[in-house]
Structure 1
């Protein structure tokens, strides 16, 4: 094999290899997180170590009463049950855009609801047995979460509907068209609330979420609370520092 042929062959191989190279995009999977080790900022969820995180402890002696806070106008319509156990909670998803609330002249569409055991927020350092979060989003993508503290008492219809239809497979959403979810059915008669700006209480812990925590608690039976705990015994993030945030109160 003469020198010229070797040079041509080498150039051809290099050109062929170069032309066959492809740009490979590697998508990094989100780190697995769990409630047993809630320092999620240490495993890559940097926002979880921010200064405006949720949940918090509401010290009622330090909240500021504001007469300028808006009331909540509910425009809820029953919708068929769509439910999933996402491995962290039991979640009911919206099946249409017909349920919404009006707050501060802004419309927020209902997105999903889910439960925590025990409650994530605390009132004067006291937790309730459970907490319900109803997540809403406006057209700009801003989130508003209505939070309901749940104490042991009468049976809760919404929780019963969820517990009776929990999918056997995790992360497998199931539809139950014959089961109608009525968000209006459990709204407290007293619409007084606490509100503050915080974050998602699960990774990625995105901030700028407004929480409205109703003062009046709702109820669930002991059997229901124990049933939920059999699925998710402790899915409550520990309370986070308030830092320089202000909690407002609507009487």
Structure 2
């Protein structure tokens, strides 16, 4: 290692520092500094004794700074940027606060993500606690217009409602098992017209049993077709699914009244991804018109999403006539999700209308 020759000025500086260490009387600090940043830095230096940061731009700057500090009677000889003339570069080595901030913020972020886990079963993550899992879910707990509800036909107002216009066209199948249900993301160009407002079909998904009840009874399953207006508001069409036809429609003279498998549902179940959370696009075309009943009369009311965050002001359109699926098709969904329906919510004083 090469010997470094100190300049006379640097030698003088070191001599001053040495004298300060051996003469405690000179190292006293009679009054605290008024600079808040200096106070924090002095505490750091207290532990590490004397810390001199990298040399400033010139020996002259360092000399002037040292002289000024000594003349003030400060015991901790720490040269800060504020002590140097403009252009000085000395500073105290202080722990990097941004780094600590990043580490500190990572844990709450992870907790926040974990807090969004929810389920349909009783327990800490169940429906009764959805509103406590995240501040975003407060509507689940405190909302006044929550869904699903029981639709009492005797209490529904019979009205001359405008028919729903389903302007649907085929779409490439894009299907995902999202951990709560089987969901199909639908392609652009399919819309719903109701009361002069147009909503775009975004996706549809399934619940077992049906979430909404008619006169206290739920059907085997339901498909929820979720639509969005350009202003962000939502309209959900509920298509009830049943394995049992009404008695009146099962009296055929030719005998067999068993329900055949629904071809549209078969296509979906055959293409459910093997991995949860993975979207599959198997190159199959589907037409959501095939899931609609022939009779499109409906009940309507204002409610909410039936999953967290339970956002309200959702227009609900519950088709009165169910479509029919086979027992095996319901059992296949049951093997994936035995139950994924939210409990019924209080109707309150909300108005439910029914097409005549």
Pair in the same fold by TM > 0.5: yes
Q: State the partner residue of 1:54.
A: 147
Q: CA deviation at 1:46?
A: 1.1
Q: State the partner residue of 1:214.
A: 319
CA distance in 2, matches of 1:82, 1:141: 22
Unpaired stretches in structure 2, ≥5 consecutive residues? 1-16, 21-26, 28-68, 70-74, 82-90, 244-258
CA distance in 1, matches of 2:191, 2:335: 31
What secondary structure, in the 3-state scheme, does the structure 2 residue paired with 1:119 have? coil
**Taking CA–CA contacts closer than 8 Å with sequence separation of 6 or more, which of the two structures ends up with the larger relative contact order?**
1
* Number of residue-to-residue matches in the alignment: 247
Q: State the partner residue of 1:91.
A: 183
In structure 2, the CA distance between the partners of 1:230 and 1:105, relative to structure 1 (3 Å rule), is same
Kindly report the root-mean-square deviation, in angstroms, between the aligned alpha carbons of the 2 structures.
Answer: 2.0
In structure 2, the CA distance between the partners of 1:64 and 1:19, relative to structure 1 (3 Å rule), is closer
Q: TM-score, normalised by structure 2?
A: 0.66
1:79 aligns with 2:171: yes
Q: State the partner residue of 1:168.
A: 274
In structure 2, the CA distance between the partners of 1:107 and 1:42, relative to structure 1 (3 Å rule), is same
1:134 aligns with 2:225: yes
What secondary structure, in the 3-state scheme, does the structure 2 residue paired with 1:8 have? coil
Q: State the partner residue of 1:194.
A: 299
Larger radius of gyration: 2
What secondary structure, in the 3-state scheme, does the structure 1 residue paired with 2:295 have? coil
In structure 2, the CA distance between the partners of 1:6 and 1:79, relative to structure 1 (3 Å rule), is same
1:146 aligns with 2:231: no
1:7 aligns with 2:72: no
Q: Deviations over 1:9-34 (max 9, x none)?
A: 588336x4467567545533242100
